[in-house]
A = this chain, B = another copy of it.
């Protein structure tokens, strides 16, 4: 459990002014659990919490948090963007039928080996999405 002051400090460290909206969003997102949100689902959550943040600001905040390394953008489809509060290195299962994203537990089993990056390049990130469907 964190206090609002701690969220403010976390934002300050990330180079972001701890404004009312950003602290509120941080408090919703970084409650200790790992979650996946879209601009839309986050807006609903904000509303459910009795708060109000304009649409543009939700998008801006999501992008700023991502740039600051507090969130990670996950690519599973191109209808809209999803953000993961878990920025550690890990991968995902994605079920298209209900647009559900799941963290892969114990993902160390996957990347036993990596290919060499092309000459003059280095690997920045590795995204693995395993598409699944009900049997």
Question: Residues on A close to B: CB < 8 A?
Answer: 75-78, 80-81, 93, 95, 102, 104-107, 109-115, 117-118, 120-135
Q: Which of B126, B130, B133 contacts A114 (CB 8 A)?
A: B130
Set B113, B121, B124, B129: member contacting A75, Cβ < 8 A: B129
Q: Can you tell how many copies of this chain the complex includes? A: 2
Shortest C-beta distance, A133 to chain B (Å), equals 5
Chain B residue at minimum C-beta to C-beta distance from A105: B115
Contact B112 A113 (CB under 8 A): yes
Given contacts A114-B110, A115-B107, contact A131 B135 (CB under 8 A): no
Q: Smallest Cβ distance from A24 to chain B, in angstroms?
A: 26
Determine the residue in chain B with the shortest Cβ distance to A113. Answer: B109
Residues of B within 8 A of A76 (CB): 75
Q: Is the CB of A112 within 8 A of B112?
A: yes
Whole-angstrom CA separation of A121 from B102 in the bound complex? 12
The answer for the CA separation of A13 and B79 in the assembled complex, in Å, is 30
CA distance A133 to B123 in the complex (A): 7
Of B106, B107, B110, B115, the residue contacting A130 (CB under 8 A) is: B115
